[in-house]
Amino acid sequence: MPKRTTPVFKRILLKLSGEAFRGSQDFGINDEAVAQIAREVKEVFELGVEIAATIGGGNIFRGRTSGSKGMDRVTADHMGMLATIINALALQDALEKLGVATRLMSAIEMHQIAEPFIRRRALRHLEKKRVVLLAAGTGNPYFSTDTAAALRAMEIKAEVVLKASKVDGIYDADPKTTAGAKMFDRISYLDVIAKSLSVMDATAVSLCMDHSLPIIVFNLTRPGNIKRVVLGEKIGSLVTA
């Protein structure tokens, strides 16, 4: 059976972790890793798919971890939000070098760097075929970038949340430490929450469940996987009702 050449989704929300930006480094931004992500996004963009991406900041600063070590949690979370802006600027630069039109929108206002997130403006950018990069989470402490991804996906009426990870999908145990860990091809929202599986945090999964928004978790480190998912290939794990 020939492979599909047309996408199964018209509009997607791509959730990128900060760790994806560091590549093989222990910390910071790896230029080649960012360039590779940009090339993958461009491939999907050229299929005519409308793309919004939320960006994490864990390669630079992780607010939750620092908050647990004694730093004021609100301060730590704000620092984490600023780290996502740095990553988003790096990806914006890489995309525009490839000729992809972008708009960077931030939940924290910083007019010299990014537009404030305004839902109608974000929708207009998508309709005008610009990749919309969404940074600074929700702008609120105590909420993860996973929750921001779920929220923004619903606001822009995305058809799916694509959670890019470093493993092939959702497992019943950590595949790096547990031999024989089983990967789920398909799993329900309730099972993800009940089993405390490390997909997205419970708030994000609950939001998606309440609005029947599917989540696909896949391996970003395999070149071409974003395109494969968008073309409907059975890649990764699907979280649905």
In this prediction, what percent of the chain has a pLDDT beyond 70?
96
Q: Which fold has domain 11-240?
A: Carbamate kinase (3.40.1160)
Averaged pLDDT of the chain: 93
Q: What is the pLDDT of residues 138-185, one digit of tens each?
A: 999 999 999 999 999 999 999 999 999 988 999 988 888 888 889 999
Q: What is the pLDDT of residues 101-137, one digit of tens each?
A: 999 999 999 999 999 999 999 999 999 999 999 999 9
Mean pLDDT of 19-41: 94
| Dihedrals phi, psi of 114, to nearest 5 degrees | -145, 155
Identify the residue with better confidence: 21 or 180.
21
* Res 196 pLDDT > 90: no
Mean pLDDT of 202-226: 95
- What SS3 class is residue 176? coil
Burial letters 178-190, b for 16+ CB under 10 A, else e: eeeeeebeebebe
- What SS3 class is residue 159? coil
Identify the residue with better confidence: 63 or 211.
211
The domain locations on the chain are 11-240
Identify the residue with better confidence: 166 or 32.
32
Dist. CA 117–CA 98, nearest whole Å: 24
**DSSP 8-state code for residue 237:** E
For the entire predicted model, the pTM comes to 0.92
pLDDT at 229: 96
Mean pLDDT of 35-47: 97
Q: How far apart are the first and last CA of the chain?
A: 28
Q: Band the pLDDT of 66: cuts 50, 70, 90.
A: low
Give the other-Cβ count within 10 Å of 15's Cβ: 27
Torsion, Cα 234 94 155 120, to 10 degrees, reads -140
